[in-house]
Structure 1
C-alpha cells in the first residue's frame, strides 16, 4: 500500500531566539528534523515530503541529500494550511503519516504501528496520558472510538478531567485526508486552519477514528526553547547510555556521557566520564577510554587504551588504532592516522595522514604528518616531519627500528632507512641509508671565562 510521510517543518521557533530555523537546531549532533527522517527510514514510503516555511532555503539546503521533496507554506496559517500545501503532491492511494519536525524522538516502532492501524481506511491519532494535561487538546471517546479533540479552552469541566491528549502525530487515508483538509476553514479566534478539525469530518462520515496511545513521553516531546532542547538532549543521552549498558558497556557515569552518532562496542568496553563520541565509532573488546576524550569517526581495536583528554577526529578519512595501542593523555589523532598494534602515542603528540607500524613509539611533544613509520621506531620528543613546503604536502618514510633523537626536523620528502639513527637536534634534508647515523647541527662551541651581561645601574 502506498505511503506518504509528511513532516511539518515550517515554524519559526521564536522562543529559540536563534537565526537558525527551529527544526535545524541540533540534538546529539544532528538536526531535529533529521532525527525524524532517520527514525522513519525503515518505513517503505513512496515519498517523503517536508513542508518548509520560515528559513525555507536553509532547511531545504540542509536536507538536500535526504531524498525528500519540499513544499512551502507561505505564510504559515496553521497546521491544516500546512497540509493543504502538500495536497497536490500526495499520492491518492494508501496512507499519509504526518509528523512534526521538532519532535525528534518518535520511535520507528510507533510510526509503524500508526501506519498499520491506518491501513488506508482509518484516521489514527497518536495520544498520550498526561498527569497535568492543561493546555492540551483532550481526546473525547465513546467507548474505544474517538469522537472529538476538544481544546483546553473549549473543554467543559468534565472534559478537562480527561488526561488523554493529542500529540500532533496522525496517520490518515490519503484520499480522504486530501478532501478533508481542502474543506477546512479558519473561522476561529486565531484565524488559522486547524488540522484537528478533520476529526469531526471523519466522525460525521462514519470513518473510524482511532486513538493509538504511547506510554513514552519522550516520543512526543517537542522543542520550543533552548531549555527544552537541553532537557531533551539529556533525556536522549540517558536513553542511549542505558542501551549501551544493557549491552554490557561499562559507563563510569551515564549522566556524563554523550553520543552524537553511532557507537559499536565489543565486550568489556569501559568508558570514563565526560567522553563525547561523534560520527561512526567502533570500540573493540576490552578497550578503555579515559575521562574527557572526544572521539569522532574512528575504529579502535581490542585492548587499546585511550588515556585522558585525547582528541581523535577521523573526519571522512577515518582513524584506526591497533590492538593494545596506548594513546595519550593529551594526544591528537587527525584524519588518516593509521596506528598498528602496540603503538604508543604520548602526551601532546599529533598524528595526521600517517601510518605507524607495530610497536612504533612517539611518546612526547611530537608531530607526524604525511609519514610512513616502520616497526619499533622510537620517535623523539620535540621532533617533527616538515611535510608542507607552502604549496604541497610531501611524505616522510621511516624504516623499521629507526631511532630519531629529540628536537629533530625531518624535511620531506625524505627517507630514513631501516635501523638508521638521527642525532638529537638535527635537521635532516637528505635520505639516510639503513644503519647509518645522521647528525646535522651546528658545532658546539664553549668559551671559557665568558660572563653574562649585567644590567647597568
Structure 2
C-alpha cells in the first residue's frame, strides 16, 4: 500500500565548514540527498516530500526524483518542527509515513521497507542501531521487559542514560493520522529549546500505541555526515563495500583500499584493475580487460581483452567512448566523448582522440591528435600529426581511408579525405583531397643559408 515518504534535508551543516548545503556534499560523486532519493525510488509512495531550509533553492534545484514535493523549514527549530512543515503535503489516505534523513546516504531500501512493515499502519516503528560509542545519538529507553518507553537526546541524557548503547538513527515509520496529531502537541521545553521529533515516542506510549524498534543491518548504513572527517570515513566505507561486491563477482582488484567507483561498473570474468583507478558514470568492462594504475574512466564500454595502460584518461560524457576487443590504450592517452575504437586499435602515449572512429588495426602510437575523424582499417598515424578540425567557427571532418600511412608531424586541414593506400610524407600540411594509392608531400624545400653563424650572447 502507498505511503508518505518524508526526507529531512533542511540543516545548515555548520561543521562542514562550507557554504554548500550539507546534503549536497558528495559521496562517491553524488550528493548525499540524491543517494537517499535514488535508493528509495522503487518504493510505492503516495507523496515524496523533501524538507529544505538552509540553501533551499540550491537543494531543490539539485534534487531529482519522480513527483517530488518540497516544503521549507524557516527557521530551523528542530526535527519535530521540520516534520510539522510536511504535514500539509502528506497524503491522508496513506496509512504510514516514513521519515528519513537526507544526510544518511547509505540507508538500504530493504531497511526502510522493514521499518514500514514493522509499523503496519498502526505502530510507531523506530530504526535503531547498537554502537560501542553512541555519542550524539538519542538513547532508546526500555522497561524491564524490553518495551520501548521513549528516546532521550544525548544532550539531555543523564550519565546513566548515556551508557545505553542502543541509539536512535533519526529514521522512523508512523501511522499518518497519529503522527499528524502528535506533531501538533510537541513542546520545546528542553536544553536546546527545539521541537524534538523523538518526543512523540512518549506520546505514543502514553496513549497505549505500541512502539517497536527495528535494528539496522549495519552501522555503516545509518551513519550520518556532520563534518568532512565523517564524510571521508563514509566514502572509504562505501568504496570498500563496492570493491568487495566486485571482488566477490570475480574482479581482481590489486588493492581495494585504492579504488573509487562513482557510478556503476559492470565487469566480465578475469578483469584486472590496478591501484588508484577512478570509475565514473556508467562503465562496462568486457572479459579479460586489464586496467593499469591511476586511470580515470567515465561513461565507457571497453570490450573483451582490451588493455588500458597506466595514467590513461577516458571521458565519454553524453556521447560515450567505445574501445574494441584487444585494443591497446595508453599509457598517458586521452579518449574524449565520441571516440569509437575498433578491434586491436592502438592508441599510444600522449595521443588524444575526440569524436572520431578508428577501424580495426588502426594505430596512433605517439603524440598525436585525432578530432572529428573517420579512420579506416590498418591506418598508421604518425607521431606529432594532427587533424586541424576547427576553422574558428565550425568543426569539419577528416576521412582517412584504409591502409593509409600518415608520416610524422603532419597537419590534415579538414574537410579533407585521404584515399585508401596513400602515403603522406612527414612534415606535410594537407588541405586538399588525396587520391588513393599516391604519395603526397607538402613541405618547403630544404635550403642552406650561406654565411649564417649562430648568435653569440652579448657580454655586459
TM-score (norm 2): 0.96
2:63 match: 63
- For residues 331 and 280 of structure 2, the distance between their equivalents in structure 1, rounded to whole angstroms, comes to 19
- For residues 63 and 287 of structure 1, the distance between their equivalents in structure 2, rounded to whole angstroms, comes to 35
Gaps of 5+ in 2: none
1:339-375 CA-to-partner distances (Å, cap 9, x unmatched) read 0000000000000000000000000000000000000
1:6 match: 6
Change over 3 Å in CA distance of 1:334–1:83 after alignment to 2: same
2:104 match: 103
Matched, 1:412 2:414: yes
1:25 match: 25
Matched, 1:88 2:88: yes
2:116 match: 115
- Contact kept in structure 2, 1:138 and 1:163, CA below 8 Å: yes
Gaps of 5+ in 1: none
1:267 match: 269
How do 1:123-202 residues align onto structure 2 when only pairs under 5 Å count? Answer: 123-142=124-143, 143-155=145-157, 158-202=160-204
Q: CA deviation at 1:136?
A: 2.8
Moved more, 117-126 or 404-413: 117-126
- Contact kept in structure 2, 1:122 and 1:209, CA below 8 Å: yes
Matched, 1:48 2:48: yes
Select the residue among 391, 401, 419 that pairs with 1:389. Answer: 391
1:137-179 CA-to-partner distances (Å, cap 9, x unmatched) read 2212233431111234544555443211111110111111111
1:443 match: 445
- Contact kept in structure 2, 1:310 and 1:332, CA below 8 Å: yes
Q: SS in structure 2 opposite 1:365?
A: strand
TM-score (norm 1): 0.97
- Contact kept in structure 1, 2:418 and 2:435, CA below 8 Å: yes
Change over 3 Å in CA distance of 1:426–1:100 after alignment to 2: same
- Contact kept in structure 1, 2:37 and 2:65, CA below 8 Å: no
- For residues 300 and 32 of structure 1, the distance between their equivalents in structure 2, rounded to whole angstroms, comes to 29
Matched, 1:354 2:356: yes
1:372 match: 374
Change over 3 Å in CA distance of 1:182–1:426 after alignment to 2: same
Q: CA deviation at 1:252?
A: 0.4
1:256-279 CA-to-partner distances (Å, cap 9, x unmatched) read 000000000000100000000000
Let me know the Cα RMSD of the aligned residues. Answer: 1.5
- For residues 64 and 274 of structure 1, the distance between their equivalents in structure 2, rounded to whole angstroms, comes to 30
- For residues 136 and 71 of structure 1, the distance between their equivalents in structure 2, rounded to whole angstroms, comes to 26
- Contact kept in structure 2, 1:9 and 1:52, CA below 8 Å: yes
- For residues 247 and 426 of structure 1, the distance between their equivalents in structure 2, rounded to whole angstroms, comes to 51
Matched, 1:233 2:228: no
- Contact kept in structure 1, 2:38 and 2:65, CA below 8 Å: no
Q: SS in structure 1 opposite 2:443?
A: coil
Q: SS in structure 1 opposite 2:45?
A: coil
- For residues 399 and 426 of structure 2, the distance between their equivalents in structure 1, rounded to whole angstroms, comes to 18
Q: SS in structure 2 opposite 1:203?
A: helix
1:36 match: 36
- For residues 394 and 301 of structure 2, the distance between their equivalents in structure 1, rounded to whole angstroms, comes to 29
